[in-house]
Every structure is written in structure tokens, then in C-alpha cells.
């Protein structure tokens, strides 16, 4: 593993709409908004044309940043990380499709972020067991730190190649980020990635789940705090049934969550970026935004109210908040993810309308 590097202290944050000399932070309000690009279909993940088209669709929606999500599989028993699953035929995005998407984004003037994931390998499918439950000890811990470290640094090299503006060293690994025995591993990995990326040009971050960020022990080593902001925005009872909850209730609860994040940002003297946020078009979704299927009852109105409320709150935040990536753009039109944002859909129209209003 490459030794830990150094990075100078952050310059004062520019206001939204301003630009600092090295382009490390936002240029315009439009760059506040982006989306994650991800697919689990093996055919789509070998199709550069589909990924280029997806980036063009994002641009047409008004989004000016794409976050390329790559993933590998971790054996929960041995800790070994590999791009191939031993349990199913799912294949992560090839480097060819990631490069095609990055090139398309660059041609459109979009910013590009790179976000490595691991999925716990199991016989049901990627994502069936949340990565935050991963807990490793002994030899498995050693195997993970070696193989995961190589995987992340390979993607850091790719991020450097494409001049990415943001790079994540991990995502939602709650079982590994709060343990003291993993702290030196994370610190060395962050230092290695900063050496690769040259940290004056690329923000180095970690994407913590909404119930994890206060437990992470290495924020001081990073440029920015990433938050997957799936905090509940109503109780299950308040959100059950047609017309519930009100948009005002969602707005108020998201504002409260933003105030918590703002206080945390000030406490650590670090900017925050919402690395993921989204809801699914089903009843009670806002009571548990991280649940892909909180109910079998379709309720698109609840999802639309949530998007309008969250977008309304986001536009009122100061420069402590660097932006948001919505989860997630529909790269594969046949994807069965309930979170997917499709071009020309009612949700993409809400996003585009909010972006146009901000310009």
C-alpha cells in the first residue's frame, strides 16, 4: 500500500456561485445538483453507449455532475474483495463504460465524481445484505484491508486519469468505520489516495450513512464529509395513506436534519456533501427513505412531495453544504431498482424545475 501523503489545509469555502482558484468547490448553483450513475445489469455494465446516453439524459435534466459508482464484492467470511461474485452472475460496471461516461460528461462540461462500493457477496443478489452490517476480525480483517485497499487505489488512479472533482474512499461501511482497530487502515488509505489524486484538485471524502456519520473517526483526514441523508422525514403513521404526509411536514423535518448537519459541519470545520438522497414511489417511503420497498402500495405523490420539499430546503443552505447527488439515475432502462430516476419522468421534471429556478 502506498504510504500516507499530506494535504494542505482547506482554503476558506467559496459561496455558492463563486469559484476558488483550483476549482475544488462549486462554480455555480447548477453544480449543487448531481446524481449517481449505477447499474446492476451485466449487459448494461458492458455497454458504453448506454452509459453515454445516461449522462446525456442527466445533462438534459439540468444536472451538472455525475457520480460514477463502481462496486466489488466482499466475502463476509474471508474478507476478500473481488470484482467477481462467487454467488451470482451480476457484474459491476467495466472500466470501459466508466471511462465512456466520464468522457461524455467532460464533453458536456459536467463534473465527475468516483465512488467505490463493496457489496456483501451472497446467494440472493448484490445489495440484499447491507454493507453496513459487515464486521471483520482476525485474518478476515487483514484480507479485507489488503484487497479493499488495492481496489480503492485502482479507482483513485482512474479518478486521476479522468480529472475527477471528488473521490470517495468508501461508502456506508458502518461496521468498519467506528472501530478503533480500523482507524489506521482508513488513515493510510486516505493518505494513499491523496498522493495519487493530488488533493489540491480533487476532494477526497467518505460517504457515511445518516446514522453513521457521528461515529466515523477519520473525518479530520478528509477534505469533506459525505452523508447519505436517508433520515426519516415522518413517522410511519404520519406517512401512511393517500395524501400523507403533507409537504410542509416533510420540509420541516428535513430542515431539522439540515440544522443537525450544519452544526456538525461547524464542529469539525469541514464542508458537507449529500452523497446520496432519494425516496421510492411507495406509501410510507418518507418514514424510511433507505427502504427500497416500505410498502406494496404505489404512492408517487408522496415521492414527488419529498423531492419538492428537499429541493426547496437545499436551495436555502449556505456554503457549508457543497451539493447533493440524487439516488439514482436510470442507466439501465430495465433496472428493477425502485429508486431509479428516469428521463422525462415526473420526478426528473421536479428536479429540472428546481434547477431552472435556481439559475
Q: Please give the Cα distance from 262 to 241 (Å, whole number).
A: 32
**What distance in Å separates the CA atoms of residue 141 and residue 145, rounded to the nearest whole number?**
6
In sequence order, which residues have a C-beta less than 8 Å from that of residue 355 and are 6 or more positions away? Answer: 29, 30, 33, 61, 62, 63
301 lies in some domain: no
Per-residue pLDDT of the chain (359 residues; tens, 9 = 90+): 333 333 322 222 222 223 233 344 444 455 589 999 999 877 888 999 999 999 999 999 999 999 999 999 999 999 999 988 877 667 889 999 999 999 999 999 999 999 999 998 876 655 578 888 898 999 999 999 999 999 999 999 999 999 999 999 999 999 999 888 999 999 999 999 999 998 567 999 999 999 999 999 999 999 999 999 999 999 999 999 999 999 999 999 999 999 999 999 999 999 999 999 999 999 999 999 999 999 999 999 999 999 999 999 999 999 999 999 999 999 988 888 999 999 999 999 999 999 876 65
Detail the DSSP E strand segments found in the chain: 33-38, 65-74, 81-82, 111-120, 166-171, 203-209, 225-228, 272-277, 321-330
Instruction: Let me know: does 227 contact 275? Beta carbons within 8 Å.
Output: yes
What DSSP assignment string belongs to 179-225?
-GGGHHHHHHHHHHHHHHHTTTTSEEEEEEETTTGGG-S-GGGSSSE
> Grid coordinates representing 259?
440544522
User: What's the confidence (pLDDT) of residue 8?
Assistant: 29
Strand partners, 273: 226, 323
Which pLDDT value is given to residue 89?
67
In a domain, 18, yes or no: no
Per-residue pLDDT, 254: 98
For residue 163, what pLDDT is reported?
Answer: 94
Which pTM does this prediction carry? 0.89
In a domain, 308, yes or no: no
* Cis peptide preceding 107, ω within 30 of 0: no
The residue segments making up the domain with residue 77 are 29-232+262-276+319-331
- Does the residue 166 lie in any domain? yes
Structural domain contains residue 181: yes
pLDDT of residue 122: 75
Is residue 45 a part of any domain in this protein?
yes
**pLDDT of 159:** 96
The domain that holds 106 is classified in CATH as 3.20.20.80
**Structural domains in the chain (count):** 1
Give the distance, in angstroms, between the CA of residue 91 and the centroid of all CA atoms in the same chain.
Answer: 20
Position 198 scores a pLDDT of 80
CA–CA gap between residue 50 and residue 243 (Å, rounded): 36
- Secondary structure element (H or E) that encloses residue 153, with its range: helix 138-161
For residue 12, is it within any domain? Answer: no
- Residue 121's pLDDT is 87
**What is the H or E stretch that residue 259 is in?**
helix 247-268
d(CA 160, CA 167): 9
Q: How far is CA 18 from CA 21, 294, 357, in A?
A: 10, 40, 18
Amino acid at each position: 500500500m502506498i504510504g500516507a501523503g499530506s494535504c494542505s489545509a482547506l482554503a476558506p469555502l467559496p459561496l455558492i456561485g463563486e469559484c476558488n482558484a483550483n476549482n475544488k468547490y462549486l462554480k455555480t448553483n447548477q453544480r449543487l445538483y448531481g446524481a449517481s450513475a449505477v447499474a446492476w445489469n451485466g449487459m448494461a455494465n458492458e455497454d458504453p453507449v448506454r452509459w453515454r446516453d445516461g449522462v446525456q439524459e442527466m445533462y438534459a435534466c439540468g444536472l451538472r455532475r455525475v457520480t460514477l459508482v463502481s462496486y466489488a464484492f466482499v466475502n463476509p467470511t474471508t474478507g476478500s474483495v473481488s470484482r467477481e461474485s462467487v454467488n451470482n452472475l451480476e457484474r459491476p460496471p467495466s472500466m470501459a463504460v466508466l471511462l465512456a461516461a466520464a468522457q461524455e460528461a467532460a464533453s458536456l462540461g459536467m463534473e465527475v465524481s468516483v465512488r467505490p462500493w463493496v457489496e456483501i457477496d451472497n446467494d440472493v443478489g448484490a445489495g440484499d445484505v447491507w454493507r453496513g452490517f459487515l464486521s471483520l476480525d482476525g485474518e478476515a480483517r487483514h484480507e479485507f484491508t489488503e484487497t479493499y485497499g488495492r481496489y480503492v487505489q485502482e479507482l483513485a488512479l482512474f479518478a486521476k486519469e479522468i480529472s475527477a472533482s471528488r473521490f470517495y474512499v468508501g461508502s456506508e461501511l458502518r461496521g468498519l468505520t467506528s472501530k478503533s482497530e480500523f482507524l489506521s487502515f482508513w488513515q493510510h488509505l486516505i493518505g494513499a489516495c491523496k498522493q495519487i489524486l493530488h488533493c489540491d484538485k480533487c476532494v477526497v471524502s467518505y460517504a457515511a450513512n445518516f446514522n453513521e456519520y457521528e461515529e466515523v473517526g477519520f473525518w479530520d483526514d478528509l477534505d469533506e464529509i459525505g452523508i447519505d441523508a436517508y433520515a426519516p422525514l415522518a413517522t410511519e403513521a404520519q406517512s401512511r395513506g393517500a395524501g400523507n404526509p403533507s409537504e410542509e411536514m416533510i420540509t420541516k423535518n428535513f430542515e431539522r436534519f439540515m440544522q443537525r448537519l450544519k452544526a456538525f459541519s461547524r464542529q469539525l470545520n469541514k464542508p458537507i456533501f449529500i452523497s446520496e438522497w432519494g425516496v421510492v414511489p411507495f406509501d410510507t417511503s418518507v418514514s424510511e427513505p433507505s427502504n427500497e420497498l416500505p410498502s406494496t402500495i404505489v404512492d408517487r405523490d408522496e415521492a414527488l412531495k419529498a423531492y419538492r420539499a428537499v429541493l426547496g430546503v437545499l436551495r436555502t443552505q449556505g456554503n457549508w453544504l457543497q451539493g447533493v447527488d440524487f439516488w439514482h439515475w436510470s442507466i439501465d432502462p430495465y433496472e428493477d431498482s425502485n429508486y431509479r430516476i428516469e428521463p422525462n419522468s415526473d420526478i426528473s421534471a421536479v428536479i429540472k424545475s428546481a434547477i431552472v429556478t435556481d439559475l
